[in-house]
Chains A and B, each alone.
Chain A
Amino acid sequence: MMTMMNNDLRRKIIDVVYRGKDGHIPSAFSIVDIVALLYREYLKVDPRHPQDPNRDYFILSKGHGCVALYVVLAERGFLSQRDLDAFCTSGGILGEHPDCTKVPGVEASTGSLGHGFPFTVGLALGLRILGMTNRIFVLVGDGECHEGTVWEAANVANNLQLGNLCVIVDWNGSAAQLMPRDDLPAKWRAFGWKTQVVDGHSAPELGAAFDRIVFQPAGTPTVVIARTVKGKGVPMLEGHGVWHHRIPTAEEHQQMREVLA
């Protein structure tokens, strides 16, 4: 299995969280390889024209992973280092959940789980009504898949045949901590979605999955279920322990940076 480790982005994530004294590092590490690949190679977006009507859309439905999105948006030129440095400070534009009214490049304000995906179903439908061919990606957490609205939206999107929509599930095992009967691929297939399961830290596997999607206004929507590791890249963070919402000490921060060097 090829593994892509975006250590540079992971270092930025821990720096932002350490400086802001808030944030969810393991959730961000779980998705950062997916978000980075999308913004580097797939999404047609332009930081000079963030509202370009022809842009592709990425919605982070699991909003608590947003530091991953922030560092990638900074890499693409939507945000400055100064913006990152002001994470979770008064007057800054970046908080622990993304606010689309403040942050260029953020398409939806998320944080309460089970909202971003149904919102995106409406977005995909609206773009189809307008005759647009934008591609829409939405990333949900596997824990978020506990929310009933995820399955309402999955049902609706397939019935509306929103072929311009791709859901990515961050399958890092959070959901199974509480509900171990966790066969997400079977569930999505049962809802009629084209379902692919890949290593969510592997650029080649993710890329192959995205390349297989035929985006079209009317067609069966696709879900890419990405097997991921919460906290991936720093052993002390990996898994489902205390680090979900913990801020590293100066010493721990240094240790993490060394691991990611």
Chain B
Amino acid sequence: MGGPNVMRQQFANTLLQVGQEDPRLVVLVGDISHFILQPFAQACPGRYYNVGICEPTILSMAAGLAKTGLSPVVHTIAPFIVERSFEQIKLDFCYQQLGGTLITIGSAFDYSNLGCTHHCYDDFALLKSLPNTQIVYPASPEEFDALFRQTYRSGKVTLVRMPSHTHGQMFRHDDIRFGTGVRLTDGSDLTLIAIGPQLRHALAARDALGERGWQTDILYLHTIHPIDTELIRTSVRKTRHVLVIEEHTWTGGVGSEVLRATRGIPRVQHAFLHLPEAFIRDYGSYEEHCERLGFSRHGIIKTVEREFRASPALVAGSRT
């Protein structure tokens, strides 16, 4: 899946390059990625701080940096930024209309053996609940670079959910545009909406679904907030069946956004592959978690067959 260090290496490379171009970029980390960011620290003296194990204060400090006109980046493990320091994001950044970039590591259950203390699958819901925020979820190095460059001076709080795994697709840098989803395949019967590394499983399921009579539109959303409503509506108007695959809980996830985005389109069947409303207490590898939770080629096919086989649209013969 692209190797676990590919994304983090791109993160370090992008910060180094942007930091050399822009003297206003300042990076605060909570004792993580310290060694991989040394090139940035060397090239941008006085603009790299491994502050310590005090995440709420790091968030408040970053807002203070933004107050002076600098562009702060905060980087540490996802729950320590999004959950532990939520009020700092709300009050010190959003309420005061200050912008900054929060780059999390440990997407969803990436830290698969570390238990829920290091899991984070409510980050979309939490950030979306605050004004002046936006969320990107790049699962390839090119996306990380393009989306960071496009957002870090936006004046908003940008959450960059950085996964450890990639989806394996190559996008041209120039084709990656914040806020704009990507349609990878053209089908008439079923819309698969995948985010993050799960695009890999959606693509893997395509042929088998085709053999079962489902020609699929596969949509990939690297921008979670704001969501590309028009792309979703255009596809679903055509297919009338949509399955959303996301490493997030139902509450506040992409699935509920798709429900909202497709309001008013008649005879649409929705299905969702998401995390359960429960802590993941099991251990094992990321791949093992995926398999167990249904995030797999097989899980997607099974969900489509279970949710849509007897759909009224099919019975009525309106699938064309």
Contacts and interface: CB of A to CB of B under 8 A. Distances in A.
B227 interface: no
Interface stretch (A122-130, A166-174, A253-261): A122-130
Interface of A: 100-101, 107-109, 111-112, 115, 118-127, 129-130, 132, 148-149, 152-153, 155-156, 159-160
29 contacts: A101-B96, A109-B95, A115-B60, A118-B64, A118-B88, A119-B63, A120-B64, A121-B57, A121-B64, A122-B61, A122-B63, A122-B67, A123-B64, A123-B68, A124-B64, A125-B64, A126-B67, A130-B68, A148-B56, A152-B54, A153-B57, A153-B60, A153-B61, A156-B51, A156-B52, A156-B54, A156-B57, A156-B61, A159-B52
B60 A129 contact: no
Contact of B67 (A123, A149, A152): A123
A119 B97 CA distance: 14
Contacts of A107: 67
A160 B97 CA distance: 26
A112 to B, nearest CB: 6
B60 A119 contact: yes
Contacts of B46: 129
A119 B68 contact: no
A149 B64 contact: no
B61 A121 contact: yes
A155 B56 contact: no
A242 B68 CA distance: 40
A124 B63 CA distance: 11
A125 B91 contact: no
B87 interface: yes
A155 B52 contact: yes
B96 A109 contact: yes
Nearest to B60: A118
Interface string B59-99: 01111111111101000000000000001100110011100
Nearest to A101: B97
Nearest to A124: B64
Contacts of B61: 118-119, 121-122, 125, 153, 156
Contacts of B199: none
**Interface-centre pick from B26, B61, B87 (highest chain A CB count, 10 A):** B61
Given A129-B65, A155-B52, 12 more contacts: A101-B97, A115-B91, A118-B88, A119-B92, A121-B60, A122-B64, A122-B65, A122-B67, A123-B65, A125-B61, A152-B57, A156-B52
B153 interface: no
The DSSP consensus for interface residues of chain A is helix
Contacts of B270: none
Interface string B34-65: 00000000000011010110101100111111
Q: Give the 4 A-B residue pairs with the shortest CB-CB distance, closest first.
A: A122-B64, A122-B61, A126-B68, A118-B60
A119 B67 contact: yes
Nearest to A131: B46
A112 B67 CA distance: 18
A176 B100 CA distance: 37
Interface of B: 26, 46-47, 49, 51-52, 54, 56-57, 60-70, 72, 87-88, 91-92, 95-97
Contacts of B91: 109, 111-112, 115
A118 B68 contact: no
B65 A125 contact: yes
B57 A118 contact: yes
Contacts of B51: 156
A144 B88 CA distance: 16
Given A112-B87, A130-B68, A156-B51, A118 B56 contact: yes
B64 A126 contact: yes
Contacts of B56: 118, 148-149, 152
A160 B46 CA distance: 11
Contacts of B62: 122
A98 to B, nearest CB: 11
Contacts of A100: 96
A123 B60 CA distance: 9
A178 B51 CA distance: 31
A125 B69 CA distance: 12
Contacts of B68: 123, 126-127, 129-130, 132
A148 B56 CA distance: 10
A76 B296 CA distance: 65
Nearest to A129: B46
Nearest to B97: A101
Nearest to A154: B57
A125 B63 CA distance: 11
Contacts of B96: 100-101, 108-109
B70 A129 contact: yes
B267 to A, nearest CB: 46
Contacts of B47: 129
Given A118-B60, A121-B64, A149-B60, A126 B52 contact: no
Contacts of A149: 54, 56-57, 60
A146 B79 CA distance: 24
B221 to A, nearest CB: 31
Contact of B92 (A115, A126, A127): A115
A156 B95 CA distance: 24
Contacts of A127: 68
